[in-house]
Amino acid sequence: MRRTLLALLFFVGLVAIWTAMVRAKIWSPVLLPSPHNVLDYLISAWRDGSLVSAAAVTLRRLLIGYFIGLAIGLPLGLLTASLTFVEDTIGVLALGLQTLPSVCWVPLALLWFGQTEGAMLFVVIMGTVWSVVIATDTGVRTIPPIYARAARTMGSRPLHRWVHVILPASLPYLISGMKQGWAFAWRSLMAAEIYVTILTGFGLGHLLHYGRELNAMDQVIGIMLVIVVIGLLADKILFSPWERFLHRRWGTGRV
Amino acid sequence: MADNQPVLNPGRHRLVMFQESALFPWLNTFGNVMFGLRLKPGLRNSERREVAKFFLHLVGLEKFMEANVHELSGGMKQRVALARALAPNPRVLLMDEPFAALDAMTREQLYGDIQRIWEKRRKTIIFVTHNVREAACLADRVMVMSPTPGRIREIFEVDLPRPRDFNSIEIAQHAAKLTAVLKGFAEQEVAVVS
């Protein structure tokens, strides 16, 4: 209760500072709209359906791309951690490509796929896969070898060991890798949507882009807020249950 | 060789207890004991659960079935590890300095526990230790080994009645005999309880 109240106070304070800055008229209202204006925009965009449909388009791309990225990245990470050949090839590739900002995939995706959903998905997948590969690889390598040895003495065979020892033992790393992958997927998709207009769907990034074109700062800030809120919600829904489990079992999470 | 079969691989007929408990942090106490049992074929799951409960009871931790590994003390962890190793009913239990990382009080309590459990289960235990008194207290037969190459140099029979008290004079006398031999060459010995 006390925690919620303090957090609430913090955010009310933030909005109050914002309002005070608008009132002080340091910047033109075109550059810094009041919280009220932004709220007005959000309400009207909600009413005319543009906000909901854009969020739906964006989330669909994000989720599909993210889960494909996970489905590729997790097994690849397990392979790089267990086979030297894959470590020397895919592992190096992943390390290199992870440093490549995901916007850099956009030109390539456009030329390969044209202005299609495929291009969007490609950018999201490329943004996700490599960080997931590296997190999984690190996770598997960090497991104390005694777990696998103990399982071996109890008669565990390699496949059983992968499923029942290696995977659960690296869970803390896998979860943080999946979180990082999610953040990268979000970034990649927003970059792609802002840069590329595609006719198959109008996402949040496009609303942001047109907000800029129209000099509609209330729209720009409003959409940014929506993106932040979706990110927060996704974190709570997708990852919090896992993290609570980890903290309870491993006894981590509090200093 | 064991039971006229050459020993090539680790397996569930020869379970190992390590210096560290090697419990799995993603499972609770009960789940850890169940891990080895699940790998044993020919049991129904309800039977496995019964066996796991029986052995947790045997090591005195039936109240901690749902506890997470990080909530257990060092001695409790080793007791769970013991229950986990005993539960699949291995032919031989291999213990590699299982009490070395524990404090003296907990260790002495576990000497009592392990003798009590051994009385009930009568399992062959091969117990590696650097602690001479520990060897004299627990073993029927003590095999003194030389360091590199590890060879059995001498075998002692300890025929004291059980349960033995770690602090008794007889144990100390046996330990003194062992120490005298060890001073010659070795730093490691193996005790066999059978």
pLDDT band at B186 (very low <50, low <70, confident <90, very high): very low
Per-residue pLDDT at A254: 67
Per-residue pLDDT at A197: 74
Tell me if A136 sits within 8 A of A70, measured CB to CB. Answer: no
**What count of Cα atoms within 13 Å lies in the side-chain half-sphere of residue A101?**
7
**Which chain B positions have a beta carbon within 8 Å of A170's beta carbon?**
none
Inter-chain residue contact A155 with B11, CB threshold 8 Å: yes
Helix (H) or strand (E) holding A143: none
**Residue of chain B with shortest Cα separation from A242:** B26
Tell me if A135 sits within 8 A of A174, measured CB to CB. Answer: yes
Inter-chain residue contact B22 with A154, CB threshold 8 Å: no
Q: Which residues contact B57 (CB under 8 A, 6 or more apart)?
A: none
Which of B14, B20, B24 to substitute to test the interface with A, most A CBs within 10 Å? B24
**Which chain A positions have a beta carbon within 8 Å of B84's beta carbon?**
154
Span B112-168, pLDDT tens digits? 888 888 888 788 888 888 888 888 888 888 888 877 777 787 888 888 887 888 888
DSSP single-letter state for residue A99 = T
Distance CA A152, CA A154 (A): 5
* DSSP line for B108-173: HHHHHHHHHHHHHH--EEEEEES-HHHHHHH-SEEEEEETTTTEEEEEEE----SSPPTT-HHHHH
Token digits of residue A76 = 């690849």
Between strands B92-96 and B14-17, the pairing is parallel
Predicted-assembly ipTM surpassing the 0.85 threshold: no
Of A154, A168, A169, the CB nearest to B36: A154
Distance CA B74, CA B194 (A): 26
Give the phi and the psi of residue B42 in degrees, each rounded to 5: 80, 15
CA B86 from centroid of its chain's CA atoms: 9
Token digits of residue A167 = 């995977």
Tell me if A186 sits within 8 A of A102, measured CB to CB. Answer: no
Q: Which residues contact A246 (CB under 8 A, 6 or more apart)?
A: A171, A172, A175, A252, A253
* DSSP line for B80-116: HHHHHHHTT--SEEEEESTTTTS-HHHHHHHHHHHHH
Parts of chain A with a pLDDT under 70: 199, 254-255
| Domains located in chain A, CATH noted | 35-250 (1.10.3720.10)
pTM given for the model:
0.78
